[in-house]
Chain A
Amino acid sequence: GQNIDQPTEMTATEGAIVQINCTYQTSGFNGLFWYQQHAGEAPTFLSYNVLDGLEEKGRFSSFLSRSKGYSYLLLKELQMKDSASYLCAVKDSDYKLSFGAGTTVTVRA
């Protein structure tokens, strides 16, 4: 089966930076996705990496190292509305998406 690990919880202060790490061991690799999910709502797409390196989208950036089976999501200038779960997901050789259990980020004033 697929193995995707990320921390369960993280807490940070408004205006700060938080880095959420994700490590994976999957049968094949066809891209890594990050989703944001607010409590009681559906996941929404944040970023996609298929090549090594950093992808930047406003306050959010995502990094991938395929050789290390490692990614991180960087959230800058944290706002209260960033309090949510962040899901790491990997597309395997069959193009199926496997999700980690999610990291709950709490932003404190």
Chain B
Amino acid sequence: IAGITQAPTSQILAAGRRMTLRCTQDMRHNAMYWYRQDLGLGLRLIHYSNTAGTTGKGEVPDGYSVSRANTDDFPLTLASAVPSQTSVYFCASSESGGEGNEQFFGPGTRLTVL
């Protein structure tokens, strides 16, 4: 199946628990991204990776970590979830991080932290 997959589709999590959101793409894209989308705020970049082995911080990185061990996978970890991390999380990828290069989005993970 071509494109980006995310897992889980949705999750309810107790505050303080650790959680990893999974993202896999099969388009051999170099760049991958994690966004969160909250009502009235739009999509905000959490972390990104321009190529396997490298990562960078976006606009709202606190409380989140990422790794990019290979081209296809880009997991997002919440070490100790807090209610303010309740959001819809989208993973995206693009051929590269440069000019042009539209981003393709996964279906999203709806996370609720209680």
Contacts and interface: CB of A to CB of B under 8 A. Distances in A.
Contacts, number: 50
A89 to B, nearest CB: 8
Interface string A84-102: 0001010100011111111
Contacts of A95: 97-99
Contacts of B104: 45
Contact of B42 (A42, A44, A50, A87): A87
Chain B interface, >50% SS class: loop
A44 B105 contact: yes
Contacts of B100: 31, 48, 50
B48 A42 contact: no
Given A1-B59, A42-B90, A42-B108, A97 B103 contact: yes
Interface residues of B, number: 23
A89 B37 CA distance: 14
Interface of B: 33, 35, 40-45, 48, 58-59, 90, 97-100, 102-108
Q: Which 5 A-B pairs have the closest CB atoms?
A: A42-B105, A101-B42, A99-B43, A45-B102, A99-B42
Given A42-B106, A95-B97, A100-B42, 4 more contacts: A4-B42, A45-B104, A97-B33, A101-B41
